[in-house]
Structure 1
């Protein structure tokens, strides 16, 4: 069993929590408009707790324990119960760091992230995951939105 993660932007915790009502995740199209319900990117197997904490530490230069102690690091805003899905927050500090990092900084972060928290993931794969996540962070900042993660268990 694995996890499926989609990171998405929403204006408030309350609006983000409505993504629980989209069984396919926040990028699932609305039945009336056929448009995605949220601006979202799939970032396979990058959990919003440990892996994102490692990334936050790399991008900010702060210790893992400090970044994961942030009150919005993985704070639950919606739960589908024991089987999920779950909606959690991404700290604004990390969202800002992602939005302000260019491709070179993201590639450097992917190398450091690969060496630290995720030794089995090649830096190229992590960099490829960071580019759309950083682009989402830029779009969220432009709208004054926050980042969230929708997580679900997979078979």
Structure 2
């Protein structure tokens, strides 16, 4: 079973929640401007990309859950609980968006990023994705919007 991760931009979390409440679509990409990114989780793998963009070390990214709207369980969620089954959507903080939007040399950042043990593949394979994500982050920043990550098993 693979993990699907899509990144998209939206005006705010409320818009995303309303969409998810009314939609039966698998992913918000299509309804929202976004990038499909199989297995680029918003914590570790994206964190490595942000670190490469900033020229620093990996640190946990700040994000906040948007969906499901119920509070996260304090224990292992039971079957049928939306926290057990997904999808899950998180809003990434503005510094993450801005770090990605500020990338000027996609090839160089991608070359550093693929050296992380969590990233599988060659720079040439990942460079188009990184370029799309950087462009998405720029559009979000320029529009005053947030970046979100949709995750589904």
TM-score, normalization: structure 1? 0.80
The structure-2 alpha-carbon separation of the partners of 1:111 and 1:144, relative to structure 1 and needing over 3 Å to count, comes to same
Contact 2:7–2:148, Cα closer than 8 Å, also in 1: yes
Superposed structure 1 runs of 4+ greater than 2 Å apart: 16-23, 117-120
Matches of 1:129 and 1:111 in 2, distance apart?
A: 13
The structure-2 alpha-carbon separation of the partners of 1:50 and 1:119, relative to structure 1 and needing over 3 Å to count, comes to closer
Matching residue of 1:39 = 33
Q: Within the alignment, does 1:146 sit opposite 2:146 as a pair?
A: yes
Give the RMSD, CA atoms, in angstroms.
Answer: 1.8
Matching residue of 1:106 = 106
Q: Name structure 2 gaps, 5 residues minimum.
A: 69-81
Q: Within the alignment, does 1:58 sit opposite 2:60 as a pair?
A: no
**Offset of residue 119 of structure 1:** 5.0
- The 3-state SS of whatever aligns with 2:51 is helix
- The 3-state SS of whatever aligns with 1:116 is coil
